[in-house]
């Protein structure tokens, strides 16, 4: 009995699974094979090698889709943990209206910082954004954070000075579920920290000490911080502390000054 006749023979076990006949067939790519006819199908089976290739491709596509879902879910968790205000979530560089040369310069600097964040992260390079309110400082900082979280493995966290102080003070409550050390760690560990509304109110000794502890902690870990304030850059030391400002400037820290008319005022006038 030839091997081909053995290939075409239908065993008892195969009959139990509905195989009624095997016929010789040929695949242009894989050569000869036994085409199977089953009782529940009018169509004979095709090349098993071709079927295996199709199944492998299908499995790979499903795997890629699964990894994509995992990456998307991970990004959603990162974006949620960043606590960027709803008004600024999803803000991008393309959304920023640069109507003056200075605005265009600031936009370009922020885009460059985001696109080369891995190097800035390695260097611990900070950014200080100062100037008039409503000129797009928080918008661009949120755009940097969004770009960083979407395009790198880095994390970013946004906090106002007020929310930082509230969070730290919350650890002193006897019913608090976190310690002061854990509160500070949550602000020191992220790859990028954005501190907004610096100088919005007259700083207390507690505020200055708290901000220094955070900025210094990140400085020691060589992690970048973005500070946003509506006051004049020359007066930043009065509301943030000279020691904090000194650490932000070290390592060729980037200073951006925002001038012009508030976008909020423009919209209100329309």
Cα 101 from chain centre? 30
Domain boundaries, the chain: 3-46, 83-269
Q: Per-residue pLDDT tens for 169-183?
A: 999 988 888 899 999
What is the second-level CATH architecture of the domain 83-269? 3-Layer(aba) Sandwich (3.40)
Q: How many degrees, rounded to 5, is the angle at CA 209 between CA 82 and CA 155? A: 20
Q: Per-residue pLDDT tens for 13-39?
A: 888 888 888 888 889 888 888 888 888
Q: Per-residue pLDDT tens for 55-94?
A: 888 888 878 777 666 555 554 554 445 557 667 677 899 9
Residue found under tokens 């000490």: 209
The yes-or-no verdict on residue 1 having pLDDT over 60 is: no
Q: Per-residue pLDDT tens for 217-257?
A: 999 999 999 999 999 999 999 999 999 999 999 988 999 99
Quote the pTM value: 0.69
Measured between alpha carbons, how far is 223 from 216 in angstroms, rounded to an integer? 10
Other Cβ atoms less than 10 A from the Cβ of 195: the count is: 26
Query: What's the pLDDT score for residue 80?
Result: 45
Q: Per-residue pLDDT tens for 133-151?
A: 889 999 999 999 999 988 9
Query: What's the pLDDT score for residue 265?
Result: 44
Cβ-in-10-Å burial (0-12, 13-18, 19+) of 263 comes to: middle
Q: Are strands 127-131 and 254-258 parallel, antiparallel or unpaired?
A: parallel
């Amino acid at each position: 009995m030839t091997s081909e006749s053995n290939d075409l023979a239908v065993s008892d076990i195969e009959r139990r699974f509905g195989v009624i006949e095997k016929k010789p067939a040929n695949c242009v790519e894989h050569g000869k094979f036994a085409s199977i006819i089953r009782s529940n199908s009018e169509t004979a089976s095709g090349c098993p090698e071709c079927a295996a290739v199709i199944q492998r491709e299908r499995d790979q596509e499903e795997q890629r889709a699964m990894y994509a879902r995992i990456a998307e879910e991970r990004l959603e968790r990162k974006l949620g943990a960043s606590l960027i205000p709803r008004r600024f979530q999803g803000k991008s560089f393309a959304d920023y209206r640069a109507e003056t040369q200075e605005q265009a310069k600031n936009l370009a600097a922020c885009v460059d910082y985001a696109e080369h964040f891995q190097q800035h992260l390695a260097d611990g390079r900070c950014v200080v954004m100062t100037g008039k309110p409503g000129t797009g400082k928080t918008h661009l900082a949120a755009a940097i954070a969004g770009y960083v979280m979407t395009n790198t493995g880095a994390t970013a966290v946004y906090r106002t000075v007020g929310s930082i102080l509230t969070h730290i003070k919350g650890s002193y409550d006897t019913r608090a579920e976190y310690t002061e050390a854990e509160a500070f760690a949550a602000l020191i560990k992220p790859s990028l920290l954005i501190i907004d509304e610096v100088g919005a109110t007259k700083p207390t000794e507690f505020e200055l000490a708290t901000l220094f502890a955070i900025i210094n902690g990140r400085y020691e870990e060589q992690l970048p911080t973005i500070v946003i304030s509506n006051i004049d850059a020359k007066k930043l030391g009065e509301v943030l502390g000279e020691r904090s400002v000194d650490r932000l400037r070290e390592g060729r820290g980037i200073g951006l000054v925002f001038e012009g008319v508030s976008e909020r005022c423009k919209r209100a006038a329309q």
